[in-house]
């Protein structure tokens, strides 16, 4: 151990310097940037009652969206004259391609 004293000190100094450089170059944020695989479709149909809106607008859109490859979950909220359909995809899905597929299906 005594014979390698300089080598060990040099290695420790090198590791300390590398750690200090890495600490100042790493990005630090409070919340990381995360792209969730989710698309929200907003629908507006004037003054239709909620039950008619559900039958004529929301259900056909849900059925069309379920046929898109990679869809994991579909949830919707319907109110008087409007609806919101949330479409969740599998992690790793190319969202640009998924949005284009939805446009073709609808």
Domain ranges of the chain: 38-105
Q: Over 80: is that where the pLDDT of 106 sits? A: no
Taking alpha carbons only, the member of 57, 56, 54, 48 closest to residue 81 is 48
Spatial distance between the Cα atoms of 40 and 86, rounded to a whole number of angstroms: 4
**Which DSSP letter does residue 92 get?**
T
pLDDT tens digits, residue range 42-62? Answer: 999 888 888 889 999 999 999
Q: Over 50: is that where the pLDDT of 104 sits? A: no
Spatial distance between the Cα atoms of 46 and 48, rounded to a whole number of angstroms: 6
* Lookup: tokens for 78: 């319907």
Taking alpha carbons only, the member of 98, 75, 70, 97 closest to residue 86 is 75
pLDDT for the residue 74: 94
If residue 10 lies in a helix (H) or strand (E), which one and from where to where? helix 5-25
User: Domain 38-105 carries which CATH code?
Assistant: 3.30.70.1430
CA 12 and chain centroid, separation: 42
């Amino acid at each position: 151990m005594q014979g390698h004293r300089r080598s060990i000190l040099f290695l420790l100094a090198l590791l300390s310097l590398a750690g200090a450089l890495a600490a100042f170059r790493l990005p630090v944020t409070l919340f990381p940037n995360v792209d969730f695989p989710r698309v929200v479709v907003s629908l507006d149909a004037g003054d239709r009652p909620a039950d008619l809106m559900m039958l004529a607008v929301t259900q056909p859109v849900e059925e069309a969206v379920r046929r898109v490859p990679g869809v994991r979950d579909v949830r919707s909220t319907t109110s008087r004259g409007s609806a919101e359909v949330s479409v969740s995809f599998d992690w790793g899905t190319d969202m640009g391609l998924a949005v284009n597929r939805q446009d073709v299906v609808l």
